[in-house]
Amino acid sequence: MRSFQLKLPEFWARGIRVVAISVDSPEINRGHRKKMGFSYTFLSDPKTETIRRYDLLHAGAGPKRTDIARPAEFLIDPTGTVRWVNLTENIGVRARPEQVLQAFDEHIHNTPAR
């Protein structure tokens, strides 16, 4: 997540808005953003409505067997169409910002990867 913060100017230059979503409450997300110095948007989905809509629920995988979201990165266009997805079962494995930017350049923006 920190790596996305460091690359925000590159995302913004392409018109990409970085958003994180989790089952955590708004208070927990606010505290995490402040503690880590993140300036992008964090959304809270404690009822897992959006997480379920994108088939990201990892039932019982959180603390005390609570439900959490699977790690994933999406590129969603302005019409709401999912254009690229990176899914993983391992919470420690995530797409790097460079991978997301390359996917945008190759699959959405139709320009060569940088």
Q: Give the pLDDT confidence of 13-53 residue by residue, as tens digits.
A: 999 999 999 999 999 999 999 999 999 999 999 999 999 99
CA dihedral 105, 84, 95, 103 (to 10 degrees): -10
Domain assignment of residue 114, yes or no: no
Q: pLDDT (tens digit, 9 = 90+) per residue, 71-114?
A: 899 998 888 888 899 987 777 778 899 999 999 998 776 544 44
58 in the Ramachandran plot: left (φ > 0), alpha (ψ -120 to 50) or beta?
beta
Paired strand residues for 69: 57
Say which CATH number the domain at 21 has.
3.40.30.10
- Which residue range(s) make up the domain with 45? 2-108
Q: Which two tokens stand for residue 110?
A: 């139709």
| Tally of domains in the chain | 1
